[in-house]
Structure 1
Amino acid sequence: MAIFARRLLICLVQSRVLLLVNLTGHYTGNCHPKPAQAVTNWLNVPLVPCTIKKFSNGEINVEISESVQDEDVFIINPLLILISASKTASARRITAVIPSFPCARIDKSQAPITAKHAANMLVVAGCDHIITMDLHASQIRAFFDIPVNNLFSEPLMLSYNKCPDVGGAKW
């Protein structure tokens, strides 16, 4: 997972989507601390500490340990609650990095368009910008009322896959 997070950020930097000017911090919840730490180590920015408490009924509470007022916040996970907590803490802009957008492949007729509902939840929670990779259908970008950057991993992956000789390149 840490390798994927590093590749994702390499894609972001190569696509010039992520500007490192005034980038002050990232959060991580209790779901994926290793990838979040790999991201912040690679960018040489601090990981903003937050406490996530899970109650016996399954609900969770997020407490951000440092001020994020008027800061740009990049959220990796758990998404909706951290977006809401960041908005409540007066973050200037909230960008959700979602390498694999949920429900994007559910696009059959007579089935609910759950990707639209997921997009609405992110916007209502307070997200200002989405960065995702390899959306199943480019039309999903139209579900959002906020900017969406859909990055493509293929150029990055192709640079890692090299044939040792001409014969290996034949299909």
Structure 2
Amino acid sequence: MSDQEGPLLRAPTTGGSNKRALKVAGLTFLAGVLIVGQAFTTYMVFSQKERLTVLERHSVRLEELGRRATVMRTPVKMARPMSSLPLFMDIAETAPKVTSAPPPKTEMTQCQLQAAGLVQVQLPSYKPSCDKNGDFEAQQCWETANKCWCVDKTGTMLQDSMVDGPAKCGQE
């Protein structure tokens, strides 16, 4: 080496600057992780806020439906009181078993089907009146509108027979 090139200045190799750089890099990394964690937490809270609002609305709606159901619920009629159940079981065990044929099913007439609500009727809340044979009675009335009219046995309305109040069916 020549003197003109000059001596190279070298720093002592004690390792102090590397340790400092690692500490700064580590603290920077930790700060970055903390900032990202806070940002993620904030994002999750705001994204769940909409779901919480929807859930709260559904909860209020269910409470409302529950209140309506309890108000509109009719009591259930029991066939037998529960206190008589053991007595009933004792009788059933000692009584001889008799097999019988079920009673024959009779077909319902159109009037009976409409009166029972099994067949849809054109007028709301109207139930026809049936005689003992199941035929339509001569006078039919719709209580809601206070209208009456005359019909034949099949339920066909007689022309120009609708009046306010009772109708004069078969009477002239």
Q: TM-score, normalised by structure 2?
A: 0.18
Whichever of the two has the greater Rg, that structure is: 2
Higher strand share: 1
Q: Which has the higher contact order (CA 8 A, sep 6+)?
A: 1
* More helix by percentage: 2
